[in-house]
Structure 1
Amino acid sequence: MWVTVAMESHNFTHGSPVSVNKTQTLQSEMASVQTAISLPIFMFAGGAIGNLIAIIVLSVSRQERKSSAFYTLVCGLAVTDLLGTCLASPLTIANYLDQHVLRNQHACEFHSFLLLFFGLTGLSIICAMAAERYLAICCPYTYQRWGVDRRFAQKFLFFIYLSHIFFCCLPMMGMARSELQSSATWCFIDWRTQDPAAAAYSIMYGAVSLLLIMGTIVLNLAVCGALLLMRQRTVQRPVTRASVRQRWKALSSAAETQMMAVLVTTSVVVLACSAPLVVRVFANSFKMKTDPKADLAAIRIASVNPILDPWIYILLRRSLFRRLLSLSRRSSSTRSSASSSPQRNLFYPDIMRDSHVFTQLMCSTNIITQLPATVKFTPCDTESLQQTSHTAD
């Protein structure tokens, strides 16, 4: 009897080959789940922490920054990205832990709505920021006549939210149907449906996203072209006092470099993150080759956009760019001659300490480009220009 008990306990401890195989299978499945869930957790942490830092940095900005429309749009983008990350990512993580979460139709429709809404809203706010900079630099009189300020930007953000909520709720109203995708980790609209209304909605969503992307790129390129043209006119304009010319040239160069760095980086990030999903929307809508892996990669790349946005629009524009410009200024001053270095070092710190370079650039654009080539600047003119720029700020 004791031998029999020992044999049974031995089998219970070590297990039969079938139980060992089951245990190994469960362990391998758990390891694969842990490996797969690490990516959404990392993206959730990166998006939440980055946007929280961005909001904190914005909250401690100076009061003159908070009164601008650009500042309000940046705040709206940071809050939008933070809400999208905090609402959509937990559902994805919960579905990795329990694959029955998104099989619920209501949960699937809600997840699809979140991806549709926050993806389109982020693109709209970025396009609005590009349009605001275009009006401020290229159409300053229209900018002032329309009264583009903080309140105007708040109203525009409210309009974006309301219109996009209605547009992205159309699938839940019956115009289209949300379904669990092939990877069983995310829900989106049924973009390969035979229903004409659902197909029209899918194409409409892709067309609106494409227009926003192209509009952002075109506006940014127009602003960059206007800045380069202004730089060329400032350099080539004949003036009597070399010091005045050097001051305006330095102001134009610093602001131009900062603006172009932000705008070019924005265009690249928007195109790289949003274009793959738009391409997959059109590819699936027109019944091209089915590729679930490409669909999953496209939605993951689109999810990177909220992670990168705060670092581009806040940290790069405020601190990192100024440090890099300061380092480049120091290295260039060491290589420059002793005669030219005092003028550079006297004026460049004023630019670095200024809290609103974009407003000064707009004011200099309004004043300098409208003057005829024969106008001669005097010290009083320089003081009046500075007073005008501080008043506009």
Structure 2
Amino acid sequence: MHPQIYNRPKEMSLINTSLWAYLAMETTNFTHGSISMNETVIQQSQLHAVDTAIALPIFMFAGGAIGNLIAIIVLSVSRQERKSSAFYTLVCGLAVTDFLGTCLASPFTIANYLGQNVLNYPRVCEFDSFLLLFFSLTGLSIIFAMAAERYLAICWPYTYERWGVDRCFARKFLLFIYTSHIFFCCLPMMGMASSKPQQSGTWCFIDWRTEEPVSSAYSVLYGVISLLLILGTIMLNLAVCGTLMMMRQRTVKRPNTRGSVRDRWRALSSAAETQMISVLVTTSAVVLACSAPLVVRVFANYFMLKKDSEADLAAIRIASVNPILDPWIYILLRRSLFRRLLRLSRKSSSIRSSSPLESFLS
């Protein structure tokens, strides 16, 4: 194996060399010990790196699943929010959507981190790509539906009543969103586009850099629909907030007594209405902020020739944070807690307004 080592006794003098050092050099454990020790250190460092890397998807999976499950229970148990018609039906639909997306998509990522390489199978990769396409687009659609429901209720109340927008209407609309989006996101599995593992190897998505006309048209269409939903949600939220501001100004400017103005404005902006607007605006901000980077990457990969796999990975990670943040908005802004916050804000404002008067009188 190493002839130059085994022939060394004939050439070396034991007088000038320590016997124990010489015997140690000749042992197999010494000559190969450094290699085995290095291999052990490398293996341990690799295992530590895998454990550190897999901790993030496990944490995100647990946070998304537990948070959305708590949100679904809170929304289902609360009597007032069950009676709040279409809006909270859509909110519950978004919580269920986030819960299903987390529970279905995260196991593939975790299994791939464990070295199973499940995404190398074409059917598994296509299904993982379908999940990412479907739940991202469905979340944007439900947020748009929530914004449209509040817009009709505040800006067009007669149309809202004439169309009969209630819990049953919201359930039918959710069913329409699910069925239409399942068909649209299944088109890549039917051959309209191809799915492949991304460079990190932990997730699959449509081939958004392909030059095939049909596949390119599908990726652009997906990006355009997502972009229209984002812009529509922003415009509807701005319209709702602007309408409420205008109503408040008109109510305050009317030549009535102070008590009647206060009562009318309280009836207009009740705690329930204010809570709905707060939930809508906060949820919209979170969903749009988390979904926008992925939509940007869809267009960037189509129109730009330069590949940036790190930006793609960052975009899908930001999108994965959305199901973790959404449920805590419903939990923290539920009706009872929101009323307590309103009472505290009113008390603090009354104390601040009365303190200058007291100091003046004193």
Match of 2:107 among 78, 81, 90: 90
CA apart distance, 1:177: 0.4
Residue deviations 1:56-85, cap 9 Å, x none?
A: 111111167346011111111111100000
Number of the residue aligned with 1:181: 198
Residue deviations 1:336-370, cap 9 Å, x none?
A: 339x9xxxxxxxxxxxxxxxxxxxxxxxxxxxxxx
Distance 1:84 1:232 in 2: 43
Number of the residue aligned with 1:361: none
Normalising by structure 2, report the TM-score. Answer: 0.86
Number of the residue aligned with 2:182: 165
Q: Would you say the 8 A contact 2:81–2:335 is kept in 1?
A: no
Number of the residue aligned with 2:11: none
Number of the residue aligned with 1:245: 261
Number of the residue aligned with 1:274: 291
Distance 1:171 1:328 in 2: 52
CA apart distance, 1:242: 3.2
Equivalence map 1:323-362=2 (5 Å): 323-337=340-354
Equivalence map 1:220-235=2 (5 Å): 220-235=237-252
CA apart distance, 1:300: 0.5
Q: Would you say the 8 A contact 2:75–2:81 is kept in 1?
A: no
Number of the residue aligned with 2:233: 216
Distance 2:336 2:234 in 1: 25
Distance 1:259 1:309 in 2: 14
Change beyond 3 A, Cα 1:46–1:14: farther
CA apart distance, 1:268: 2.3
Aligned residue type for 2:104: L
RMSD: 2.5
* Structure 2 alignment gaps of length 5 or more: 1-23, 358-362
Match of 1:138 among 155, 164, 174: 155
Check if 1:315 corresponds to 2:332: yes
Match of 2:146 among 126, 129, 149: 129
CA apart distance, 1:35: 1.1
Q: Would you say the 8 A contact 2:50–2:113 is kept in 1?
A: yes
Percentage identity across paired residues of the two chains: 74
Aligned residue type for 1:37: I
CA apart distance, 1:285: 1.3
Q: How many residues align?
A: 333
Q: Would you say the 8 A contact 1:280–1:298 is kept in 2?
A: yes
Distance 2:198 2:321 in 1: 19
> 1:172 aligns to what SS in structure 2?
helix
Q: Would you say the 8 A contact 1:55–1:78 is kept in 2?
A: yes
Q: Would you say the 8 A contact 1:37–1:93 is kept in 2?
A: yes
User: Which is worse superposed, 175-184 or 67-76?
Assistant: 67-76
Aligned residue type for 1:45: A
CA apart distance, 1:206: 0.5
Number of the residue aligned with 1:68: 85
* Structure 1 alignment gaps of length 5 or more: 1-6, 341-393
Distance 2:202 2:221 in 1: 25
Change beyond 3 A, Cα 1:168–1:331: same
> 1:179 aligns to what SS in structure 2?
strand
> 2:153 aligns to what SS in structure 1?
helix
Q: Would you say the 8 A contact 2:146–2:280 is kept in 1?
A: no
Normalising by structure 1, report the TM-score. Answer: 0.79
Aligned residue type for 1:127: F
CA apart distance, 1:265: 2.1
Distance 1:119 1:171 in 2: 15
Distance 1:66 1:15 in 2: 75
Q: Would you say the 8 A contact 2:275–2:335 is kept in 1?
A: no
CA apart distance, 1:20: 1.4
Change beyond 3 A, Cα 1:236–1:30: same
Aligned residue type for 1:120: L
Check if 1:114 corresponds to 2:131: yes
CA apart distance, 1:223: 0.3
Number of the residue aligned with 2:169: 152
Q: Would you say the 8 A contact 1:101–1:107 is kept in 2?
A: yes
Q: Would you say the 8 A contact 1:189–1:202 is kept in 2?
A: yes
> 1:102 aligns to what SS in structure 2?
helix
Change beyond 3 A, Cα 1:17–1:30: same
Check if 1:41 corresponds to 2:53: no
Number of the residue aligned with 1:197: 214
Number of the residue aligned with 1:352: none
Distance 1:11 1:48 in 2: 54
Number of the residue aligned with 1:101: 118
Find the structure with the greater CA-based Rg: 2
Distance 1:60 1:304 in 2: 26
Number of the residue aligned with 1:354: none
CA apart distance, 1:157: 0.5
Change beyond 3 A, Cα 1:153–1:201: same
Residue deviations 1:311-340, cap 9 Å, x none?
A: 2244324354333322222222223339x9
Q: Would you say the 8 A contact 2:188–2:194 is kept in 1?
A: yes
Residue deviations 1:197-239, cap 9 Å, x none?
A: 0000000000011011111111111000011011111111122
Change beyond 3 A, Cα 1:24–1:329: same
Q: Would you say the 8 A contact 1:66–1:72 is kept in 2?
A: no
